[in-house]
Amino acid sequence: MYHTLACVLTLVTPHHLAKAIQMTKSHVLAIFLRSGKFLRPDDVCNLLRPVPDRRSFYSYLGRLRRQGLLERHPNSRRGYLAYRLTPRGQARLEYLRRSGTN
* HSE-CB for 91 with a 13 A CA cutoff: 6
Q: What is the pLDDT of residue 94?
A: 96
86 alpha-carbon distance from chain centroid: 12
Least reliable range by pLDDT among 1-10, 24-33, 86-95: 1-10
Question: Residue 72's beta-bridge partner residues?
Answer: 83
Domain count, the chain: 1
pLDDT over 80 at 10, yes or no: no
In a domain, 3, yes or no: no
- Evaluate whether residue 25 is within a structural domain: yes
Q: Is the pLDDT reported for residue 14 higher than 70?
A: no
Q: Residue 85 falls within a domain, yes or no?
A: yes
Average pLDDT over residues 74-88: 88
Residue 13 DSSP label: P
In a domain, 1, yes or no: no
CATH number at residue 68: 1.10.10.10
Tens digit of each residue's pLDDT (9 = 90 or more) over 27-62: 899 999 999 999 999 999 888 777 888 999 999 999
- Cα–Cα distance measured from residue 90 to residue 38, given in angstroms and rounded to the nearest whole number: 14
The three-point CA angle 97-63-1 to 5° equals 70
